[in-house]
């Protein structure tokens, strides 16, 4: 899983019928210092994350391993909201 920060939300009225009802968040990857890195991805939110929160994202076929994304055209899912990071020296 990768660490990321939710920086926005996407609304799309016209989309694949499998995506109806899903919350789509824009996530920017972050490093261990929680500083933003280049790039972004769009992920389905399975835990109710909000803008500004640090989250964990599962990508690839693992993203379809939640009840709401099973057999849906999804390749990134937010599956945890990070409270704290502890990095050893």
Partner 1 sequence: MYLGKVIGTVWATQKHHALVGEKLQLVQPLDATGTSVGKPLVAIDAIGAGAGETVMYVTSSEASVPIKTRKKLKLVPTDATIVGIVDSISIKTQFETVDSETR
Question: How distant, in Å, are the alpha carbons of 11, 32, 40, 86 from that of 68?
Answer: 17, 29, 22, 30
* b/e map 36-45, b = 16+ CB within 10 Å: eeeeeeebbb
Choices 6-14, 16-24, 74-82; region in contact with partner 1 by CB under 8 A: 74-82
| Residues pairing with 9 in the sheet | 25
Q: Check residue 34 for interaction with partner 1 (CB under 8 A).
A: no
Q: Considering CB under 8 A, how many residues would be counted as binding partner 1?
A: 31
Q: Check residue 80 for interaction with partner 1 (CB under 8 A).
A: yes
Question: Binding residues for partner 1, per CB under 8 A?
Answer: 1-3, 31-32, 46-48, 56, 58-63, 65-67, 69-70, 77, 79-88
């Amino acid at each position: 899983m990768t660490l990321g920060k939710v920086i926005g939300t996407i609304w799309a009225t016209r989309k694949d019928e499998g995506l109806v009802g899903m919350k789509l968040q824009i996530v920017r990857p972050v490093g261990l210092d929680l500083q933003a890195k280049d790039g972004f991805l769009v992920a389905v939110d399975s835990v109710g994350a909000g803008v500004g929160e640090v989250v964990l994202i599962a990508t690839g076929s693992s993203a379809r391993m939640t009840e709401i994304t099973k057999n849906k055209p999804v390749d990134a899912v937010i599956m945890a909201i990070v409270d704290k990071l502890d990095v050893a020296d």
